[in-house]
Structures are given as C-alpha cells and as structure tokens.
Homo-oligomer: A and B are copies of this chain.
Amino acid sequence: MAEPFPRTPTFSGYNEPCRIEADVFDLEVEGELPSALEGTFYRCGPDPCFPPRLGDDINLNGDGMVMMFRFAAGHVDMRSRYVRTERFRLERAARRALYGAYRNPFTDDPRVAGKDRTTANTNVVYHAGRLLALKEDGLPHELDPDTLETRGRLDYGGKLQSLTATAHPKTDPASGAMISHGYEARGLATREISLQFISPRGELEREDLFLAPYVSMMHDWAVTARHLVFPLMPTTADAERMRRGGPHWVFEPGLDAQIGILRRDADPADLRWYRAPPCGVGHILNAFSEGDRLYVDIFVSERNQFPFIANADGSPFDRAKSTPRLTRWSFDLSRPAPRFEARTLFGEFMEMPAIDPRYQMHPYRHGFCTAVDRSRPLDVAGTLGVGWNTLVHVDVAAGRLDRYYVGEKTTCQEPCFAPRSPDAPEGEGFILAQLTRFEGHLRTEIIVLDAQRLAAGPIATIRVPFRLRAAVHGHWVPRSVLDAARA
C-alpha cells in the first residue's frame, strides 16, 4: 500500500508535498505581462516523493523538484519535473523511502549504503548551456533547459575530485566563468573544501582543495571580481555524532565564526582567516572589491537561523536571536591584523536575496529580498515556519527600502530579478516571486512587479492551477541566452 504522509508540520498545510510533475500551457494572467519579459524563470525546491523513513523529517530533506515558467509574447507556460538523482531512482524503484535523516547516512536502509544521498533540491542555475540542479551535499545534476529531463550528474568528465558543489556558484558577468566550491569535499564531515573554476564554455579549468578550520555549514559564499570569501559559521558537523544517530549539524555558541579570504588568482595556501564572534550567517546579497577593500553584504543573525538545528549548549531555539539582518562586512586587506568591521545596514527581518545578476561581484546599488513585516498580520507560517509577508527592494546606496506587502493569509518566496533589457540600467526590470495564498484552498501565484516600484504592487499575477510546494532558490534566464546556447 502507498502509505499517506504523516500530518506533521513538515508534511501538512503549506508544506504538504505536491509531487505533481506538471505541464500547464498558457497560465491564466490577471493584468498584462510586459513584452520585455522574454525568458524562463527556473526554481528548485524540496518535494518529498515518499513518506519519511523515520516517521517525520525536516523540510529541506525532500526530493528536488524543478519548476520552470517560460515567458514569451505576453504568455507564460509552466513545467515541473523531479530531478532524477540516484536517490530518487532507488526510492522510486522501491516505492518507499530508503534514505533516513537529513544528511545522516547511518540512518539509511542498508541497501542504499554508499549510494548518492543528494536530492539536488536547493537551487537551479544556468551556465554554459547547462541547467544545473544543486544541493551542497552532492554534485550538480544537469537538466535539459527545455524539457527539464535529467541528463545526469555533472563531474566535468570525471575531472572533479570533490564529492560536493555548493548550491550557490557565482557566475562572473564579465567573463561568463563560473566559480564554485564544495565543502565536505572528501566525504561526510571532512574538513576539505574544494574550489572549482569553470570556464565560460563549461569546462573545469582548475580545482584546488584546502582544509577549513572546522566543518561548517557554508551554504552561501561570496565572490568578487578579485576575491573569494568563505564565511564559516559555528554550525558544525561531526561524523561520530552522526554514527550515534545524531544530527548532521549542531550550532556551537562557544565557537567563533571564521571568514576565509583568498585572491581569485592565488593559491589556497594564501588563505587568510578572519575571526568573528559566534553568529549565524545566511545568504549573501552581493560582495565587491575596491582597491584593498572588500565589502560583503550578508544576512547575519546572533544565532543559527534554523529551528531544526540544535544548540550545543542545550539552549532552546531563539527566534529573536535568529533574525537575519542585512550586514555589511568591510575588510581592509592591506592591514596586517585580520580584523574587519560589521555594520547592520537595515534592522528589518529580511533574507532570501536577489540582485541584478549583471552587477554580481561588482559595486551595486539594488537588492531584493523577502521580509517579515511585523506590523502586518503574521497569520501564516510559510517556509521554515517564517511568515514572509513582504517583498523588499533594498537601495544600499540611499539606505532606503521599498516594500510590497503581499496581503493577508499569504506568504511570499525569494524574489528573482529579470532585467528589462540587456543594457538597461542596474535594477531596471522586473521582480518575479511565488506567492501562496491560504484562502479556502491553497493557491499559488507568480507575481510580476516593476523592480523599481514594488510598492505599486503587481503588474501581472499568474495563476498556477494547483498548489506548488515552496521552492528555495531560482533564477531568470533571458530567452536570448537560451536561444544562443541552442544555436
């Protein structure tokens, strides 16, 4: 029998698995889609195929589902497909979950011992004609950008030594090269970090491995035109703990954060580590180098952000201390002492950032993210229990916020920026975001806003005729880029 999912918070309401591999042609649109919006909005998120092996689970442990919304001539079509990871194929063949707890192989069914555990469920990135589904605990999976069919695991023709690659590789808008890293590169709870330089044509040009001071959940990182930034927070892994059935991650409030900085053209032996008090580090909005100065705009909290990660000292999860705030780290690399400044740019509860990708790695002004506006009703617990109810445009030059409150009983997800044209000024274009409405029946919408006028509300609202589960990250790929790769 095909068992129902447990009705725990991870598997019910907003988080109920969707599991639908869907094609819907010509979605209904209220308002008018801008004619400049020609391209594809790709998203990726966890959507568990089977009820959990251990009775319950955490949200991030679901199978990777990739969704695409293709915009052309004022119309939009959608498709969603699971990534055919080894795990997906093994469990589908067995018609049940064989893998156990999040990132703990010691909880698996023995028949999948040694098999790939990644779900490829965190991000989807387009590079060099390849659409890559990514999760930081395994290799990228390549998908067909049109059909979303899985082509296979990407190890660059067997050249890559690392067993992992981050869900946040960075593409240099100037050269088209992609730079990636993989932590736990040699296997479970190993300290090796792999640094991966991919050419604009998609070849692995160089891989360097180095040892981190400790094994940290380095979900995001930063790349500038000249530097690499590895922010380690004291959320640490330990193989022995896992062997005893414990979790992959524990937050250690007594352990300093460490930020590794390396010139892009240097050897990892030159890595310099900067210490900071224990903190939780989240996503990076952007980072850039100016002379000997390096600036990293990053979401930082006092403690780890995730309710499912325990504190090593046994203290309970503290929502206030886990609030991420956009913080600018400033490094003067000419100084002999490895010290840096941290300044909170905005006090608001914000995260899940996006920028104009043409300004990635460079001085920039415009950022976009989700926020929790506490002056509004917080009647909905969305992704990871956070009631994201507002989309925000962050003007880091003017120190100004422009907001769009998405409405009662509604939650929003990570915004995505699509430039109005290849040569439009920075931040001129559109914000795309997925909403879930909790009225009567759960509904999904994709809203389109003028990126410079968020408060004016959506230009167009796209109705998805079923409830999509929350995705994590996504990107916009202009039609010209997809067409060029096909030619």
Please give the distance in Å from A123's CB to the nearest CB on chain B. 23
* Interface residue ranges of A90-124 to B (CB < 8 Å): 92, 95
* Stretch in A18-26, A158-166, A363-371 touching the partner: A18-26
Given contacts A17-B465, A33-B1, A75-B2, contact A50 B26 (CB under 8 A): yes
Interface size on A, residues (CB 8 A): 38
> Is A36 an interface residue, CB under 8 A from the partner?
no
CB distance from A298 to the nearest CB of B (A): 37
- Further 7 A-B residue pairs, CB within 8 A, beyond A17-B465, A75-B95: A1-B29, A1-B31, A1-B74, A2-B74, A18-B465, A20-B465, A21-B23
With A and B bound together, what is the CA distance between A76 and B1 in angstroms?
A: 9
* Binary B-proximity of A27-51 (CB < 8 A = 1, otherwise 0): 1111111000000000000000110
Please name all residues of chain B whose beta carbon is closer than 8 Å to the beta carbon of A95 when the two chains form the complex: 26, 75
Task: List the 4 shortest-distance A-B pairs measured between CB atoms, nearest first.
Answer: A441-B441, A466-B466, A21-B23, A4-B28
Instruction: Give the distance in Å from the alpha carbon of A39 to the alpha carbon of B344 in the complex.
Output: 62
The chain B residue with its CB closest to the CB of A466 is B466
Interface string of A57-97 (1 = CB under 8 A from B): 00000000000000000111000000000000000100100
Q: Residue A442 at the B interface, CB < 8 A?
A: yes
Q: A240 within 8 Å of B by Cβ? A: no
B24 touches A21 (CB 8 A): yes
On chain B, the residues within 8 Å of A442 by CB distance are 441
Contacts of A17 in B (CB 8 A): 465
* Residue A316 lies at the interface, judged by CB distance under 8 Å to chain B: no
- Nearest CB in chain B to that of A74: its residue: B1
21 A-B pairs (CB sep. < 8 Å): A1-B29, A1-B32, A1-B460, A2-B27, A2-B28, A2-B75, A2-B76, A4-B28, A4-B29, A17-B465, A18-B465, A19-B25, A20-B20, A20-B22, A20-B465, A20-B466, A21-B22, A21-B23, A21-B24, A441-B441, A466-B467
Residue of B nearest to A92 (CB): B25
Contacts of A50 in B (CB 8 A): 26
Question: Is A274 close to B, CB under 8 A?
Answer: no
Cβ of A340 within 8 Å of any chain B Cβ, yes or no, is: no
Residues of B contacting A23 in the complex (Cβ-Cβ under 8 angstroms): 20-22
A411→B33 CA distance, assembly (Å): 37
Measured CB to CB, the closest approach of chain B to A380, in angstroms, equals 15
- Interface residue A423 (Cβ < 8 Å from any Cβ of B): no
Is A440 at the interface (CB under 8 A from chain B)?
yes
Residues of B within 8 A of A440 (CB): 440-441
Complex CA distance for A28 and B18, rounded to whole angstroms: 11
Q: For A76, what are the chain B residues with a Cβ–Cβ distance below 8 Å? A: 2
- Determine whether A153 belongs to the interface, using a CB cutoff of 8 Å to chain B: no
- Quick check: is A359 within 8 A (CB to CB) of the other chain? no
Name the distance in Å between A396's Cβ and chain B's nearest Cβ.
34
Q: Does A463 contact B (CB under 8 A)?
A: yes
Interchain CB contact under 8 A, A26 and B49: yes
Evaluate whether A28 and B5 lie within 8 angstroms (CB atoms) in the complex, with A21-B22, A75-B95 already known: yes
